[in-house]
Amino acid sequence: MSEYDPQALQAKWQRRWEEHDSYRASEDAGDRRERRYMLDMFPYPSGDLHMGHGEVFAIGDVVARYWMQQGYNVLHPIGWDSFGLPAENAAIRRNAHPAEWTYANIETQANSFRRYGISFDWSRRLHTSDPDYYRWNQWLFNRFFERGLAYRKGGLVNWCPNDQTVLANEQVVAGKCERCGADVIRRELTQWYFKITDYAQRLLDDMDQLTGWPERLLTMQRNWIGRSEGADVLFEIEGRDEPVHVYTTRPDTLYGATFFVVAADAALADEIVTDGQRAEFEAYRTEIAKLSDIERLATDKEKTGVFLGRYAINPVNGERIPVWAADYVLSDYGHGAIMAVPAHDQRDLDFALKFGLPVKVVVHTGMADPGETGEATPGEGTLVNSGPLDGLAKAEAIAKIIEILETDGRGAGAINFRLRDWLLSRQRYWGTPIPIIHCPDCGEVPVPDEQLPVTLPDLRGEALAPKGVSPLASATEWVNVECPKCSGPAKRDTDTMDTFVDSSWYFLRYCSPGYTGGPFDPEQVRKWGPIDQYVGGIEHAVLHLLYSRFFTKVLHDMGMVGFTEPFLRMLNQGQVINGGKAMSKSLGNGVDLGAQIDDFGVDAVRLTMVFAGPPEDDIDWADVSPAASQKFLARALRVMSEVTSAPGVPVENGDAKLRKVTHHTIDEATKLLDSYRFNVAVARMMELTSAARKAIDAGPGPGDPAVREAAETLAVLLSLVAPYTAEEGWERLGRTGSVAFAGWPVADPALLVQESVTCVVQVAGKVRDRLEVSPSISEDELRTLALASEKVAPYLAGVPRNVIVRAPKLVNIVP
Ligand code: ANZ
Ligand code: ZN
């Protein structure tokens, strides 16, 4: 092979890797190597791999292969998240069984992964739609049920009119179905839930452990969990025996409550509306049933509502305030009713102004009167018009009013979470049957563990079409069973589980995929878990990543795993876009991964993905050049092919200049990889290639041992991003064994001594310090160094107005 022929290299090395089962994690008890667990979010088998897969798996493989080179025993498994709606929709269209489409796509993707050269341990492959897998979803459901963590309740749920199934809150994005984009509506249904709310506080507290997570992700989870502190206040309603609870984060504003609002879809509204107002109320309720939470809560939405004809009594001053029903108050948050304080809450103010309700200022903030400006004043200030609270600041007033309420038995301090329980039931076929039998006498009876799995009845084509009830309901023979308790006639639950159940624990199954004694072998999980690095999309921030954390905590409480957080580090890769826009059919800007590989070869595509920018950033395929990557790889392979010195020749007397470059490259590449700056590490590999090329052409020539050292280093470094080219180069260098396990090179400190430059630090134009810095120091590093200088500190009072950095020689601070 003289020309660089990627397809030939792929065929050759793919076969060898498979023959040697190269990337299998060692289960040998005598293997003393430290273990690491690297996981990519497993794919959904919707056709062949696409560019997004190409990116995420290329990035994950850099990490896995880097650890392999460093001598870790690495677990890097793969499987398929193979239940879900698209398979079912395809089956309806083709009058087939969802399994046919699913498993055909899995095979296609598996072959593409093999070609793509990802270092998977194929022996641990799993598919969540296999009965051997989903059996354990059912087993886990039974455990959750026993612990009261799986329960059924009626209530308003999110309903996708297109997919004809309910959705979890997490699957409703801006009021639309996360899957198909249809407007989600609300329906009253009895459904299964997981009690994730029991874990709300721990899901927050344990974020302390997630030091390797991006801040953005933590913030999204924190907001989703939505913890707030405030008070529960009891309001009497005229003509009703029991007082009504409201939750407020601002009990200090209680004297400013001028009306009371009940969620229009709450039972309370229906109960207390007077006869005179009932017709108007019911018309209103019908109208808002069509809206999603997001729409109802949108601050810019015109406020709507209706007077219920009743009055509530403010517990602190006995004032009668009118009770309204409105849709901006949610029935399933807090207590589904609020005290409205229009002066200090914008939504209440909008409502008050629209319906002519009074506005009473109780916190003096120095801002203009909200009743006149239309701008509520939610900020800090001094309490006024508030009896015993007058003159207090917000925090003191909150403490005081809670004390008063508690003494009078009219309220108490309270904590509230926005997080709601995880709605689990789906009215679709291609998922895990919920292992419950409904008996007219015994109620909800779990299918005994030894009878699991409850496998899906064989339905296909039209039988799967959405009808608003689960397709399983039509499988009469499957549905009608004996009650496991009393043996009387009973019926199976016909819903299937949300497929996010499948992905909430798959990473544990990989540790012992064939295990039959439970969902996983606790011994093996102790060995491998938790996951050292997880790579996947930010779109799972409040779905999969939250659910998996919840499952792990429950399993921990059951004594099945020893840790409470599943993923120690998390990397969210960016998206692959084209021409500045997300790829889509309608824009016609899709790029096909397979075609790119056909044109440029696997290594060039992978290298392009990794080189494009920091892994978190989007990659615009219009701005990158796989052709240039291919050229670089050809050049690198040529360098590795042209070395003429024999392996093992001592390198000490080799060309000193080239050796310095090689060892600097090792040193920097190691640091860059440790800090996930993979793209810059690739740039260093390119520089090393050029230096070796120059050494071959312009002296000391291809026989110098420093050239071999550079080329071998290049092969090892390159094995992280371009494994085929690296293997081929390694072989041409006369080395045996796979380059993937050659061992990470160590930089010789003697070859790292670097020239430094002097940087002048000025404050207001006067020189105050001189720093010795690396010529390649970044502006940010230099700024930090200069601002940390002890000699500079006396001339700064607080944050400087401006810092001008001219790396590496000058920093000018304007105090
Ligand atoms: C009175 C008040 C005065 C409020 C004020 C705010 C500012 P978070 O922080 O999200 O927990 N609220 C309570 N239950 C509600 C429901 N079911 N639907 C819609 N809104 C509800 O928000 C708590 C605040 O949201 C509560 O505090 C309540 O309004 C409102 F100057 O009570 B507040
Ligand atoms: Zn029974």
Q: Report the sign of the C-alpha dihedral through residues 754, 758, 763, 765, in that order.
A: negative
pLDDT value at residue 109: 98
Output the six-digit token pair for 263: 């969620």
pLDDT band at 753 (very low <50, low <70, confident <90, very high): confident
Gap from CA of 491 to ligand 2 centroid (Å): 10
Q: How confident is the model at residue 288 (pLDDT cuts 50, 70, 90)?
A: confident
Percent of the chain with pLDDT over 90: 86
Number of helices (H) and strands (E) in the chain: give both, helices first.
Answer: 25, 34
- Please write the tens of the pLDDT for every residue from 102-116: 999 999 999 999 999
Please name which ligand lies nearest the alpha carbon of 440.
Answer: 2
| Average pLDDT of every residue of the chain | 94
Average the pLDDT over each of 211-220, 371-380, 754-763 and give the range with the smallest value. Answer: 754-763
For residue 637, what are its two tokens? 């392979």
Strands 619-620 and 576-578: parallel
For residue 257, the ligand 1 atom closest to its alpha carbon is 1
**Residue with the nearest Cα to atom 22 of ligand 1?**
249
344 lines ligand 1 (CB under 6 A): yes
**Residue 410 above 90 pLDDT?**
yes
pLDDT confidence bin for 292, thresholds 50/70/90: low
CA distance 541 to 199: 17
Which residues, in sequence order, are CB contacts of 791 under 8 Å at separation 6+? Answer: 761, 768, 769
Q: Is the CB of 394 under 6 A from ligand 1?
A: no
Nearest C-alpha to atom 20 of ligand 1 is from which residue?
Answer: 329
Does ligand 1 lie within 6 Å of residue 309's CB atom? no
Compare 648 and 76 and report the one with higher pLDDT: 76
584 pLDDT tier (thresholds 50, 70, 90)? confident
Least confident range from 120-124, 507-511, 726-730, 804-808: namely: 804-808
Q: Please tell me if the CB atom of residue 142 comes closer than 6 angstroms to any atom of ligand 1.
A: no
8-state DSSP, 367:
S
**Could you give the residue ranges of the DSSP H alpha helices within 153-274?**
200-205, 215-225, 267-272
Among residues 423, 493, 483, 485, the alpha carbon closest in space to that of 456 is found at 493
Going from the Cα of 176 to the center of ligand 1, the distance in angstroms, rounded, reads: 24
Residue 646 identity (one-letter amino acid): A
Asked whether the predicted pLDDT for residue 1 surpasses 60, the reply is no
Neighbours of ion ligand 2 (CB under 5 A): 439, 441-442, 483, 485-486, 488
What's the pTM value of the predicted model, to 2 decimals? 0.88
Distances (CA, A) of 375 to 138, 342, 352, 368, 369: 53, 10, 12, 8, 8
Q: What is the pLDDT of residue 631?
A: 97
DSSP 389: G
Question: How many percent of the chain have pLDDT more than 70?
Answer: 99
Q: How far apart are the first and last CA of the chain?
A: 64
Token pair 């721990």 in the structure block, residue? 202
